[in-house]
């Protein structure tokens, strides 16, 4: 492994767009602070339940969602907080959901793995590996049938590349030329199983190409690389050109879920390698180093995000749990 961390790849067009740069940075930091706060709350016992943290992968959700409109669709995974935040779900309502409060996105009945908000196109997280992919396919088919130019995105992990339904969706999206972007977040592991053990090839994009779906492999720890490739995929989808597949190579810093702290299946050297490519630090080096944003601007964003997260925690703590009389509402369709 070479140990020199590469630069993020922003070209002059992106470096000249200060508003976009501020938005990308704020979203990445918002996800990271949210997740770190969730980790601390869980460790202290203030928060119950399971959570799969997204820390390390922020540049994937942010680079992808920065290309989407509010009414485009996203279907998520068990590691879904970052997707929801990047798509515009309110962090206070997300925190309330994790606390099981009635003000939460799912009125406190869903928790970490079911966060959904139809108002911003967040179709939902799911605990079933690969199950978000047909949801996104259905949303893409709906958009096409209604004649809108909306796009749907399916986020899924390398683990979902072993799920048959993903391949059925690749095929269906291609023959119907649906406006769907498959975003495979290859973080190297499915729980503790390395991708090299579970999959017979490192070339995941080749699997999509076999179905006739244009595919690309990108450095998922470089928000500009993700944003660039996603721009091509979204243009293809909105223009009637059908689906695309993006393999984003990335890494999760924490364990598979909160509780998988020893992480015995990977080495300290490997973790250090990916941390040296941290998406937020690389972004900062690129934009401050080349004078696109002042460091003081980034620190001001950090402070604002810190206040937003603390306000979200207060909102959650001060909200009530759902009333016992609401036990069966919103649980099953009537
Ligand atoms: C259909 C199905 N099989 C197995 C599981 C158990 N399981 C939960 S997460 C996970 C690993 C998923 O790995 P990946 O898709 O790479 O996502 P990551 O956790 O790395 O983000 C597994 C096997 C499940 N939830 N659903
Ligand atoms: Mg994985």
pLDDT digit string (tens) for 164-173? 999 999 999 9
What pLDDT score does 5 carry? Answer: 72
Of the candidates 286, 289, 269, 189, the residue with the CA atom closest to the CA atom of residue 3? 269
Q: How far is the CA of 219 from the centre of ligand 1 (A)?
A: 22
CB 265 within 8 A of CB 92: no
What pLDDT score does 7 carry? Answer: 73
Over 60: is that where the pLDDT of 233 sits? yes
Q: List the single range of 5-19, 125-139, 264-278 with lowest mean pLDDT.
A: 5-19
What pLDDT score does 158 carry? Answer: 98
Is the CB of 79 inside a 6 Å radius of any atom of ligand 1? yes
Strand intervals (E) in the chain: 73-75, 122-124, 152-157, 180-186, 189-190, 193-194, 215-219, 244-249
What pLDDT score does 4 carry? Answer: 64
Of the candidates 114, 96, 110, the residue with the CA atom closest to the CA atom of residue 321? 96
Handedness of CA 54, 57, 60, 63 (dihedral sign): positive
Q: List the single range of 239-248, 259-268, 278-287 with lowest mean pLDDT.
A: 259-268
CB atoms closer than 10 angstroms to residue 329: 12
Is the CB of 160 inside a 6 Å radius of any atom of ligand 1? yes
Q: How far is the CA of 189 from the centre of ligand 1 (A)?
A: 9
Q: What percent of the chain has pLDDT above 70? A: 98
Q: Whose CA is nearest to atom 11 of ligand 1?
A: 190
CB 169 within 8 A of CB 133: yes
Is the CB of 190 inside a 6 Å radius of any atom of ligand 1? yes
Over range 144-160, report the average pLDDT: 98
- Which domains are assigned to the chain? 29-319 (3.40.50.970)
What pLDDT score does 1 carry? Answer: 47
Over 80: is that where the pLDDT of 266 sits? yes
Q: Whose CA is nearest to atom 4 of ligand 1?
A: 129
Nearest 5°: the CA angle 83, 311, 94 is: 30
Is the CB of 242 inside a 6 Å radius of any atom of ligand 1? no
Probe target for ligand 1 pocket from 80, 163, 191, with the most ligand atoms within 8 Å of CB = 191
Q: How far is the CA of 292 from the centre of ligand 1 (A)?
A: 39
What pLDDT score does 2 carry? Answer: 47
Q: How far is the CA of 277 from the centre of ligand 1 (A)?
A: 25
What pLDDT score does 6 carry? Answer: 77
Over 70: is that where the pLDDT of 250 sits? yes
Over range 279-303, report the average pLDDT: 97
CB 226 within 8 A of CB 64: yes
Over range 70-87, report the average pLDDT: 98
Over 60: is that where the pLDDT of 17 sits? yes
**Which atom of ligand 1 is nearest the CA belonging to 78?**
9
pLDDT digits (tens, 9 = 90+) for 177-227: 999 999 999 999 999 999 999 999 889 999 999 999 999 999 999 999 999
Probe target for ligand 1 pocket from 52, 114, 129, 185, with the most ligand atoms within 8 Å of CB = 129
Over 70: is that where the pLDDT of 140 sits? yes
Over 90: is that where the pLDDT of 259 sits? no
Over 90: is that where the pLDDT of 9 sits? no
Over 60: is that where the pLDDT of 54 sits? yes
Tell me the average pLDDT of the chain: 95
């Amino acid at each position: 492994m070479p140990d020199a961390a590469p630069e993020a790849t922003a070209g002059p067009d992106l470096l000249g767009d200060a508003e976009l740069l501020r938005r990308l940075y704020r979203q990445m930091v918002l996800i990271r602070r949210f997740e770190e706060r969730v980790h601390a709350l869980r460790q202290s016992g203030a928060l119950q339940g399971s959570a799969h943290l997204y820390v390390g992968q922020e540049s994937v959700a942010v680079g992808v969602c920065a290309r989407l409109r509010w009414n485009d669709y996203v279907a998520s995974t068990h590691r879904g907080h970052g997707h929801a935040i990047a798509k515009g779900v309110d962090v206070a309502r997300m925190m309330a959901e994790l606390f099981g409060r009635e003000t939460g996105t799912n009125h406190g009945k869903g928790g970490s793995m079911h966060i959904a908000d139809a108002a911003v196109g967040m179709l939902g997280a799911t605990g079933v590996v690969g199950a978000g992919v047909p949801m996104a396919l259905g949303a893409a088919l709906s958009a096409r049938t209604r004649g809108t130019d909306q796009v749907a995105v399916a986020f899924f992990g390398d683990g979902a590349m072993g799920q048959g339904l993903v391949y059925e969706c690749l095929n269906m999206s291609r023959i119907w030329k649906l406006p769907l972007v498959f975003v495979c977040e290859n973080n190297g592991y499915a729980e503790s199983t390395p991708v090299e053990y579970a999959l017979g090839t490192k070339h995941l994009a080749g699997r999509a190409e076999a179905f006739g779906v244009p595919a690309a492999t990108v450095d998922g720890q470089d928000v500009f690389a993700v944003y660039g490739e996603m721009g091509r995929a979204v243009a293809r989808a909105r223009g009637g050109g059908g689906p695309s597949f993006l393999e984003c190579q990335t890494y999760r810093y924490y364990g598979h879920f909160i509780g998988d702290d020893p992480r015995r299946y990977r080495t300290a050297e490997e973790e250090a390698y990916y941390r040296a490519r941290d998406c937020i630090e690389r972004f900062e080096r690129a934009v401050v180093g080349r004078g696109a944003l002042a460091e003081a601007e980034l620190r001001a964003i950090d402070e604002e995000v810190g206040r937003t997260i603390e306000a979200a925690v207060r909102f959650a703590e001060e909200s009530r749990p759902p009333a016992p009389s609401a036990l069966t509402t919103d649980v099953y369709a009537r």
